[in-house]
Structure 1
Amino acid sequence: MSDSILKVFIDDREKNSGVPEILEDMGVPIVVSRLQIGDYVIGRNIGIERKTANDFINSIIDKRLFEQARYMLESFEKCIFLIEGDFDRVLRYRKVKYNQIFGALVSLMDMNVHVMVTKNEKQSALFLYTLYKRQFKEKRNCYLEPTKIRVIKSNVSLPLIQINLISTFPGISREIADKILRHFKTPRRFFKATSNELRRVEGLGDKRIRKIIEVLDTMYQPEINKALDNRETGQESDGR
């Protein structure tokens, strides 16, 4: 893949959302890695934060929403919150009213954050594809790899730190991390939980639970990292 081609950079925690796979099927060049800010980055100046309708409501309640928006504005020229899902369905079991949702959306727009609402992952992917195509036409001859943005996060909320900590586990999205923390109350209780206790959390199936247990119980083996690094750089271990 040529470096001159515009790419869409995707946070690796988005892999299970279905959106990256659809974008790839559409022919969009994607790069999946851990992003510091945002879920999708197009070119150097567009950052997109994707949230399900339920996660959007959670971020209003725990006050993460505007903190995330501020970090996005500090990092990108254009910031977009992509909200995916059916609010009518979610509000059936949440103690939140539409005026709170609309108030949050208006506040985001007051901050100069763009907002897009889609029904499902297919519509989300189509929106990102359309945005990508527009940028590709405008900048295909002058594209540069995005520089790594270092944002100094002062006064980061403790709930956001906890959400980010739990969502580093394989297969654990921010939404599932929120459910885990609501169930166990603290990360330490989650780390000490047995398989049976983990099964009580909605969204944690046997496959995810096995991976969590594997990460927590496997002895650290730094020589494996060294072997992987050598393989990626084309070097072979000389046995020393």
Structure 2
Amino acid sequence: MSTNNSPILIRVDHRELASEVPQYLRELDSVRIEIEQLEAADYILGPQTAVERKSVGDFLVSILDKRLFSQIEALTVTFDQVIYLIEGESLYSAGNLHPNAVRGALSYLVILNGVTLLRSEGPEDSALLLATMARHAQHGLGYEISTHHKRRTISPQLQMRYLVEDLPDIGAKTAQALLERFGTLRALFSASEAELRQVPGIGEKRASEIHELANRSYGK
């Protein structure tokens, strides 16, 4: 099991030096970056995990000049896990693109190419997000998450009603009527078909099904 102090290596395309993200990465404990001329991607976080980072402005321009589509093709051919990180303000208030064109590009990335789409507030946020993803890609989560959820407390009466509702064709109203008539689950499941038919909503078919189920052997 790893800890947050496990060393992390992030490979960075040299063109990203024009942004502030690499500098923020250098300031993070346990993060080491290597500046390279990457053929595809701005950041490589693991053997098959790549990130393309774009400011909102760059993203909108890449839609207009169609560069987005060729970049994504190169990334998805090279890497199994491709993440598109869009950094900055609202996509719809910047630039002159119609919002539907932006939505179409986002859908193209996610639905048609299986790309993971993430947003960040700025360079520092991008660096922190990249470091977190790199840690997970290289070392796993680092701790266990409990999947046992504490059930909310419900009254015994409600538990009894829920149990009766699981009987064939029994709804909440009929379950309530059965419990009011017999008082206990033991009495209900010990009742004869004739006694069951005395309850409103319980006809011959339902009475037969309940009686048969209550008296059936588990192995049969």
Give the TM-score band, short-chain normalised.
0.5 to 0.7
Q: How big is each residue's C-alpha offset from its partner over 1:110-167, in whole Å with a ceiling of 9 and x where there is no partner?
A: 1101111112101111110110121232399xxxxxxxxxxxxxxxxxxxxxxxxxxx
Q: Which amino acid aligns with 1:45?
A: Q
Q: 1:100 aligned to 2:101?
A: yes
Q: How big is each residue's C-alpha offset from its partner over 1:37-66, in whole Å with a ceiling of 9 and x where there is no partner?
A: 010001211111111101100010111111
Contact 1:19 1:121 in 2 (8 A): yes
Q: Which amino acid aligns with 1:61?
A: L
Displacement of 1:89 in angstroms is 8.3
Quote the residue 1:138 is aligned against: 140
Displacement of 1:7 in angstroms is 1.3
Moved over 3 A (4+): none
Q: Secondary structure at the match of 2:52?
A: strand
Q: Which amino acid aligns with 2:49?
A: I
For structure 1, the residue ranges without an aligned partner over 5 or more in a row are 141-240
Q: TM-score, normalised by structure 1?
A: 0.53
Q: Secondary structure at the match of 1:38?
A: coil
Q: 1:75 aligned to 2:65?
A: no
Quote the residue 1:35 is aligned against: 38
Q: TM-score, normalised by structure 2?
A: 0.57
The match for 2:24 among 13, 22, 25 is 22
Q: Secondary structure at the match of 1:35?
A: coil
Q: Return the alpha-carbon distance in structure 1 between the equivalents of residues 75 and 84 of structure 2.
A: 10
Give matches, 1:82-161, under 5 Å: 82-87=85-90, 91=94, 94-110=95-111, 111-138=113-140
Q: Return the alpha-carbon distance in structure 2 between the equivalents of residues 90 and 35 of structure 1.
A: 32
Q: How big is each residue's C-alpha offset from its partner over 1:147-200, in whole Å with a ceiling of 9 and x where there is no partner?
A: xxxxxxxxxxxxxxxxxxxxxxxxxxxxxxxxxxxxxxxxxxxxxxxxxxxxxx
Q: Cα 1:10–1:99, aligned 2, differ >3 Å: closer, same or farther? A: same
The match for 1:13 among 7, 15, 26 is 15
* Matched residues, number: 135
Identity %: 33
> Cα RMSD (Å) of the superposition?
2.2
Q: How big is each residue's C-alpha offset from its partner over 1:2-58, in whole Å with a ceiling of 9 and x where there is no partner?
A: xx9541100011112111111111121110111110100012111111111011000
Q: Return the alpha-carbon distance in structure 1 between the equivalents of residues 43 and 118 of structure 2.
A: 14
Contact 1:53 1:90 in 2 (8 A): no
